[in-house]
Amino acid sequence: MKPRRIRLSIALAGAVAMLATVVPAAPAQAANAVFRAGTLNIYNGLTHAQFLADLQLITSKADLVGLNEVNARKDFLIDWAQNNGWWFYAPAPSQAENEALLARKSMFDVLDRGSDFVCDTNGPDEVPPARYNNWVKYRHKASGRVVFHLNFHANASIEENGRPVDIPRTQCAEQQFQAIKSLAARKKDEGQVIVSGDLNVDFSADRAVGYANFPWRVFEANQLPNLRSVYNLFGERGTGTHGNRHIDYIYFWKRVEDHQLMWMTDYGLVVNTNSDHRGVVADFAIDIA
């Protein structure tokens, strides 16, 4: 006869084995898929070789890319994207074509896209040009989730040490920030939302001053759900994205924890660019549908 201790061990092992067949395993963290989103304002005065080097640099580090100041390169970008496995979107008119969006075809399908006119403080041939918010709705293949990418470029010379400069282009930028916030809020009901662009407002100065119509107050100083930037979540890195100012941003729509399906997990600056801007690349994890 077997000792009582051995019989109990055998019975317990059998019970555990049976339980494992009827109780589903807890979801594994590996159920999340990952990708990267990047942004770079490529100075429009670069030579073709310099432009191409910056384009190859940012697209080597990200799977979704927002570009600024590229309307003069549209024909080249269409061909480059077609030949290198990328989706490309930069709609007419020429002012909207400045804010291009790229996505790696191996990782994303295009579901929809659009462009919203925001404001124009000058005639069509004046500087700054009219402002547009461009967007693309993608399906992320690995997760099955819908991901929106919104890309824009706010007017320059609108801020001094976090305080607004009282000129018409500042009012146009303030209008654009509100429009991006509203666009992101609408799109978040259909999927996950990422926003990129050159905002021409320094993060640390904006946070310190807290002007009501600038990005910190419009996007980040509010309760969730709302937009959150790489700098808010992980701090400012490097010396800046334009000189010593952090003015190029990647945001995502951060929900309350119980409803969050996509997370920004880290970011880095893209240095050694030919442009007068450094790029930003953010890491994302997204729950598989």
CATH code (residue 54): 3.60.10.10
Residue 282 has a pLDDT of 98
Total domains, the chain: 1
Q: How far apart are CA 73 and CA 154, in angstroms?
A: 20
SS3 content of the chain, % helix, strand, coil (to 5): 30, 35, 35
Whether 183 maps to a domain, the answer reads yes
Q: How far is CA 38 from CA 16, 22, 163, in A?
A: 48, 44, 27
Query: 11-15, 89-93, 283-287: lowest mean pLDDT where?
Result: 11-15
Task: Provide the percentage of residues in the chain whose pLDDT is more than 70.
Answer: 88
Residue 207 reports pLDDT greater than 50: yes
Q: pLDDT tens digits for 209-253?
A: 999 999 999 999 999 999 999 999 999 999 999 999 999 999 999
Residue 10 belongs to a domain = no
In a domain, 67, yes or no: yes
Bigger pLDDT: 125 or 3?
125
Range of the domain at 259: 32-287
Query: Would 91 be classed as within a structural domain?
Result: yes
More confident residue, 278 or 3: 278
Q: How many CB atoms lie within 10 A of CB 141?
A: 15
Residue 169 has pLDDT above 70, yes or no: yes
Question: Residue 105 is encoded by which pair of tokens?
Answer: 């075809």
Q: What is the pLDDT of residue 123?
A: 57
Band of residue 124 on the pLDDT scale cut at 50, 70, 90: low
DSSP 167-205: SHHHHHHHHHHHHHHHHHHHHTTTSEEEEEEE--S-HHH
27 belongs to a structural domain = no
**The tokens 């009501």 sit on which residue?**
212
Mean pLDDT of the chain: 91
Confidence of residue 13 (pLDDT cuts 50, 70, 90): very low
Q: What is the largest CA-CA distance in the chain?
A: 99
CA distances, 235 to each of 93, 109, 230, 240, 246 (Å): 36, 32, 7, 12, 11
**Does the residue 21 lie in any domain?**
no
Residue 20 lies in a domain: no
**259 inside domain:** yes
- pTM value is 0.88
